[in-house]
Amino acid sequence: MLDRPGLEHYLADELGSATLLLGERVIELGNGGVIRTKSREEAFNLAVIAEGAGLTLTRNVIPWNPNYVYGVQTDTKSFAESKLMPRSDDEIVVIFDRKLLEHYFAWIVPKGSHEFRIGLADEANVWAKFTELLKVINAEHLKPFGGKIVIGGSPDHVVAGNVAVIGDAGGASLSQ
């Protein structure tokens, strides 16, 4: 599991004199090297799009229509003993079970003290499969979160002029 805010702040600290916009949604990359947010415009020499699977900005930069699956996960507690549960805080469980998931997989990641991040990704009926998995391991969903996951690899090019696309927006997630 990645500490995204921590990573972003680390990268901001390493930038030196460059400018990094955090906490603002970019609504447009304008012609002539201008980034627009709701509250301001900034000139840029290089822009890196890391917007996730939404591809709102990416579609305007790189012609690409990726395939998706859907994922859902939750942080929860479980005291159940099951063959599916990790045996230690250092073990991550990945589940490939065609009775539960038709095409992709589920995961159980220990966070310590009987806390886990539990989730799955598949093409259809994701919520029903997710609730079934939670029943099997005797856990409940507290605040589920998730969404589209880009599959099938990256577009032919992830750079256009002075704009680069990385992460899920550039197809760097699950491969098919």
How is the chain split into domains, by residue range? 4-66+152-170, 67-149
Q: Which two tokens stand for residue 6?
A: 């921590």
DSSP letter at 97 equals -
- Coil/strand/helix, residue 20: coil
- Interval 100-158: pLDDT, tens: 998 899 999 999 888 999 999 999 999 999 999 999 888 877 899 999 988 877 888 88
For the domain bounded by 67-149, which CATH number is listed?
3.30.9.10
pLDDT over 90 at 87, yes or no: no
User: 67 — phi, psi (to 5°)?
Assistant: -95, 155
pTM: 0.73
- 10 Å Cβ neighbour count for 69? 20
Rg (CA), the chain: 19
90: buried, middle or exposed (CB in 10 Å: 19+, 13-18, 0-12)?
exposed
Distance in angstroms between the alpha carbons of the first and the last residue of the chain: 21
pLDDT over 60 at 175, yes or no: no
